[in-house]
Structure 1
Amino acid sequence: MAALIRCIAAAALLFASLALYARAGEGPLVEVVPVAKALVRDELVTFGTLRSDESVMIRPEIDGRLAHLHFREGQAVAAGDLLVSLDDAIARAELAQAQANLGLAESSFRRSQLLFSRGASNAQALDEARAQQQAARASLALAQARLDKTQIRAPLDGQLGLRQVSPGDYLEAGQDIVNLEVLDPLKLDFRVPQKAVGQIHLEQRVEVGLDAYPGELFRGQVAAINPRLDEAGRSQAIRARLANPGRRLKPGQFVRVTVILAERPQALLIPEEAVMPLGERLLVNLVVEGRVEQREIKLGRRLGGRAEVREGLQGDETLISAGWQKVRPGMAVRTRPAAEAL
């Protein structure tokens, strides 16, 4: 009962003070701020992994002894550069044999043509000579292909990794020699939850941050979206690409990914302390021609002590940020900028 009496007395004192202000022709002193405008973004933050745009393991297609390495580990190479030479002695001998066999087959075919034209040979002999000629040509092409495969060249422009072999090693077909990585641009693979699938689209901007470069962001775009969700995690795989001109980013790095869902360059921002909750409604107190006016608003994102106003303000209003507890709509007030508050 005593507490109720004290509350009633405090309320009576407040209303008496307000009435006194009104009779005196001046109101209470409040702190005011203008509505600010700034860029506000809706973001989805997740994690991902950087990958080479292309990654190739250099391997021989035939067995052979490694005769010579034409590269240094970590070297940048261009497509077509010679990387590895296998011992080609046997391949060259096979090529020479095939060339000799082709010469003999072509001579036999020409003789068969001449005899057939003179009626001294039948069509079967001519066909057999033609078949032998074609077989010799195929054998020559095969021997040339085997010789060519003793020279292993770079399939892409890129940077080599660490070699797995040494000169003199006998290599089997398919054995790892060295990896070749394309480092600019890089692929970025990450996943988004099922509820965000509808918000991701091609060419959407992403920003990448990592511990190796604190405070620095690298930007890219969504390049591909897997149409099928992962059944275990109910997430969707997304692939983006980002430029890497200085080769500062490396494949395999774990990164923080921010997907830009929406941007509002001229969003309205007000201090959170200026918002007056009233049940389920949110109100702000404005100063219009020296008097208090209340207006209902709807908020968007909250950003470090500031709140985005999505509805209810135009952007040119002046808000009461401190002291709104002692005013009511229509009351005259005295104002000072919040930055000058003591």
Structure 2
Amino acid sequence: MRRSMFFTAGALAILFGALFLWRTERVSAADRPVPPPAPLPVETVVVNPQSTAPTLDAVGSLEAVRQVTIAPEVAGRIVGIQFVAGSRVSAGQALVQLYDAPEQAKLAGLQAKADYTRRQFARSEQLAPNGAEPKATFDVRRYELDAARADIRETQAVITQKLIRAPFSGVIGLRRVNLGQYLNPGDAIATLTDLDTLHANFTVPQKALSRVALGQTVRVTTDAYPGRSFDGRVTAIEPQVGDETRNITVQATVTNAGQLLRPGMYIDAHLMLPGRDAVISVPDTAVQTSQAGDTVVVVEQRDGRGIGVARVRKVRTGTRDQGRIVIEDGLRSGDAVVTTGQLRVAPGAKVQALADASTQRETVR
């Protein structure tokens, strides 16, 4: 019994000793100061005023300056097709011949009749002044000659209508008719498009109306030709603002070098605006947009190692171009602006600007 009590007392002593040591360790650990968290590394850009060459970006589409659907003016049967679909044709080139044998025969008869009336009129022209022929007969001969000539012109016009020609030079589209087919007036034969120059139609917000003017340069790009651009100039501005969109339609004439562009293409239009001096801009990733407005995160109170405090600052933005946004108000020269990861930076947190923070050495486009 004594031995059992001895072992029990020893076990309790060991247990209470372990509990005392554990509690003492916790109290001493709580009294030790907690080291501050390491500053969060962030990517920043140091802003400096630079000259700008801003653009107003918009989306739009291309439209042919000259494009028509070739169609007959009179009815007839096709007896000749003189073009190849997709080929280039010249102005006045014959495209389709309709059956005109009756008109050709009628023309021959009218020409014979006109020749006869011409001789009759020449005879009367000699006799009437001498009184050998009544003046009324002379007037009848002159009327008959004029009527015969008019009939010839009418028939020649019908013959001309039955030979369908290209109204201007361009590329002809797919053929929609076949040899021997009977056409009614207005039936489509093919489309003819002048690809040398095109219209670029795009819309801009009404607030940009004061910055748009005739003659401004427009740079057109399309995903069909990455890395290439086509220049044109503003040639027309729609005088009416859209009722639903409150946008203004602008039309530019673009020189289609190499005829690479096609009507109907989706395009990005970049309207070149007058440049400005001493403008601050930041990458578009630096600006956060919310219902409260546009904001950026600025690293303030930076030390020699680039460690500072993150502060949220409201800004007023301007034009956007090629991944950059002009800041009209809210930033000063030398401010370090966080460009990525703003959502994980709490206001007032310690951050460290990475060593690759850059200044705007290049002119903002």
Instruction: State the TM-score, normalized to the length of structure 1.
Output: 0.69
Code of the residue aligned with 1:42 in structure 2: it is: P
RMSD value, Cα? 4.2
> CA offsets per residue over residues 58-96 of structure 1, 9 Å max, x none?
111222111111110000111121111122211211110
Cα distance, 1:318 vs structure 2? 7.1
Q: 1:246 aligned to 2:258?
A: yes
In structure 2, the CA distance between the partners of 1:253 and 1:126, relative to structure 1 (3 Å rule), is same
Residue 177 of structure 2 corresponds to residue 165 of structure 1: yes
1:304, distance to aligned residue in structure 2 (A): 9.3
Q: Provide the rounded CA distance (Å) in 2 between the counterparts of 1:157 and 1:304.
A: 38
> Aligned pair in 2 of structure 1 residues 284, 131: CA closer, same or farther (>3 Å)?
farther
Deviation at 1:196, TM superposition (A): 1.8
- Counterpart check, 1:57 vs 2:69: yes
User: In 2, distance between residues paired with 1:147 and 1:118?
Assistant: 42
Alpha carbons of structure 1 residues 265 and 79: separation in structure 2 relative to 1, 3 Å: farther
3-state SS of 2:271 partner: strand
C-alpha displacement of 1:202? 0.8
AA aligned to 1:188 is A
- Contact between 2:75 and 2:183, CA under 8 Å: does it hold in 1? yes
Q: In the alignment, is residue 109 of structure 1 matched against residue 121 of structure 2?
A: yes
- Does the 8 Å CA contact 1:286/1:319 hold for their aligned counterparts? no
Q: Percent identity?
A: 34
Distance in 1, Cα, partners of 2:199 & 2:69: 18
Q: How far apart, CA to CA, are the structure 2 residues paired with 1:252 and 1:303?
A: 25
Counterpart of 2:245 in structure 1 is 233
Equivalent residue, structure 2, for 1:148: 160
Aligned partner (choices 194, 199, 207) of residue 206 of structure 2: 194
The Cα shift of 1:40 comes to 3.1
1:249-292 CA-to-partner distances (Å, cap 9, x unmatched) read: 1111122222233334775668979xxxxxxxx999899xxxxx
| Letter of the 1:110 counterpart | A
Deviations 1:96-147 (A, max 9, x none): 0110110121122123233323423222111111111111111112222222
Aligned pairs for 1:1-342 (under 5 A) are 40-264=52-276, 267=279, 338-339=355-356
Which residue of 1 is the match for residue 38 of structure 2? Answer: none
2:10: which partner in 1?
none
**One-letter amino acid of the counterpart of residue 249, structure 2:** A
User: Highest CA radius of gyration, 1 or 2?
Assistant: 2
Amino acid at match of 2:76: G
Contact in 2 for aligned 1:95/1:147 (Cα 8 Å): no
Q: Could you list the structure 1 runs, at least 4 aligned residues long, displaced by more than 6 angstroms after superposition.
A: 32-35, 270-273, 282-287, 302-307, 309-314, 317-322
Q: Report the TM-score when normalising by structure 2.
A: 0.65
User: Deviations for 1:186-245, whole angstroms, at most 9, x for unmatched residues?
Assistant: 111122222222221112122323332344433322111122223343322211111222
Amino acid paired to 2:121: F
For the structure 1 residues 90 and 256, does the alpha-carbon distance in structure 2 shift closer, same or farther, using more than 3 Å as the test? same
SS of match in other structure, 1:135 = helix
Indicate conservation of the 8 Å contact 2:48/2:334, yes or no. no
1:38, distance to aligned residue in structure 2 (A): 5.5
Gaps of 5+ in 2: 1-43, 288-297, 304-314, 339-347, 349-353, 359-365
Deviation readout 1:130-170 (Å, 9 max, x if unpaired): 11111111111222222222222111111000111111111
Higher strand share goes to which structure? Answer: 1
Taking structure 1 as reference, are residues 318 and 97 closer, same or farther at Cα in structure 2, changes over 3 Å only? same
Deviations 1:17-75 (A, max 9, x none): xxxxxxxxxxxxxxx99875766343333221111121011111222111111110000
* Contact kept in structure 1, 2:59 and 2:267, CA below 8 Å: yes
Distance change in 2, residues 1:39/1:66 (3 Å): farther
Q: 1:285 to 1:304 in 2, by over 3 A?
A: farther
Q: Give, as a single letter, the amino acid of the residue that structure 1 aligns with 2:234.
A: V
Are the structure 2 counterparts of residues 92 and 285 from structure 1 closer, same or farther at C-alpha, using a change threshold of 3 Å?
farther
